[in-house]
Copies of this chain bind each other. A is one copy, B any other.
Amino acid sequence: MKILLTPGPVPVVKEIRNAQTKEMITHRSKEFSELYEDLCTRLKRYLSAEEAYVITGSGALGLETLVLNLCEKEEKVVCFPNGEFGEKLVETVKVYANPEAHTVEAGKGWNIERAKEAIDQSNAQVLAMVYNETGYGVRNHIKEICRYAKSKGMLTIIDGISAWPATELDMKEFGVDGFVTGSQKAIGAPPGMALLGISKEGVEKFTSREFIPSYYCDLRRHKKRYEKDRQTPNTPAISLFWALQKAFDLLDENGGLDACVKRHKNAAAHVRKRLNEMGFSIIAEPGFESNTITGFVCDSAKQAERIKVGLEKSFGIKIVSARGAYKDNGLRIAHMGNFKMSWLDSCLDAIEKIKKEGEE
């Protein structure tokens, strides 16, 4: 077997994979209503959301759904990109509203001290940023930032696609109005679903709008249909919904959110420790390290390539390059979803071996 240590799609355990193979049902049935109600009810509770929906589509479509429902055309949206996914969020906002982007250098994270002035001066109606910048493995301090932005009357949108459920989140406590994650990330289901949480203020915003610039992603339609009969306005990816239900079951059986966060945090610390011992430096600034993915810097682009190719060819282990400023000499190991610690050690042992061989 090939060990997949990539930041989503992550390996999907057999129980979840097999959940996709039930005999098909129609989405206009009591059976589907029960399935969807279970998913939304649990998701709402997990996130501390006012409402929760599962959208058939990539995580990116879920993020776009938040943006187009919560941001109006003439509104300003203050954004804090610090890597590729933060920049994609700015691109998405650009389609629907007016982004004002502030950046920090590659590997640095956003905290309230760094973001405060921009928030104060922006006069923005909305703040939008990523929780976990997958491209570098940097975790932004969204709790302090969102709470502050909300105290200024803004709505807050968080791309938590590669963060949840491996990183702390409580929408109410964190002051998050729109949250999205992807099914193929730390929850460990197959790709194809975006999981959304919306706060009370977020619901007030989209329900009070007269025009929302999408049909499929118009949350008024999702809300209306859910309230009618716990169904979706369009045909959902039913087999994937079964897989997600199984993934939620496993999350609950394995100790719930706290245990999941702890497992990821410990794995991340272990990976960083071993990489440091080998002499690699971590891309993320201390205090901003990701729970789900660790980016590290190689001596050269050549060494990075040798490690990546060597892992795949000689050990059957797949990791990926870093992005942006570190795309040539940086690599990333994901510890996301249903990984095993032994996989990480196999990967780290192999990196050590390849590194030494290169030095001989």
Interface positions of A (Cβ within 8 A of B): 1-2, 4, 6, 8-12, 14, 17-18, 20-29, 56-61, 64, 88, 91-92, 95, 182, 184, 190-192, 213-216, 234-240, 243, 318, 320
Contact = CB atoms under 8 A, between A and B. Distances in A.
A226 to B, nearest CB: 16
A48 to B, nearest CB: 26
B184 A235 contact: yes
Contact of A24 (B4, B57, B61, B95): B4
13 contacts: A1-B23, A2-B23, A9-B235, A20-B21, A24-B190, A56-B57, A58-B234, A190-B237, A190-B238, A191-B239, A192-B192, A192-B240, A237-B237
Contacts of A58: 56, 216, 234-237
Contacts of A238: 9, 190-192
Nearest to A21: B17
Contacts of A235: 8-9, 58-60, 182, 184, 191
Which of A21, A64, A213, A235 counts the most B-chain CB atoms under 10 A from its CB?
A: A235
A190 B239 contact: yes
B234 A59 contact: yes
B4 A214 contact: no
Nearest to A65: B216
Contacts of A27: 9, 191
A58 B215 CA distance: 12
The 6 A-B residue pairs whose C-beta atoms are closest, nearest first, are A192-B237, A58-B234, A60-B234, A190-B239, A20-B20, A17-B21
B8 A23 contact: no
Contacts of A24: 4, 9-12, 17, 184, 190
Task: Give the one of A14, A17, A24 with max B CB within 10 A.
Answer: A24
Given A9-B27, A192-B237, 5 more contacts: A4-B25, A18-B21, A56-B58, A60-B235, A91-B215
Contact of A192 (B22, B56, B92): B56
A277 B144 CA distance: 72
A26 to B, nearest CB: 5
A59 to B, nearest CB: 7
A89 to B, nearest CB: 10
A9 B21 contact: no
Contacts of A8: 235
Contacts of A236: 58, 191-192
A65 B75 CA distance: 25
A2 B10 CA distance: 34
A106 B313 CA distance: 62
Given A56-B57, A61-B216, A216-B64, A21 B21 contact: yes
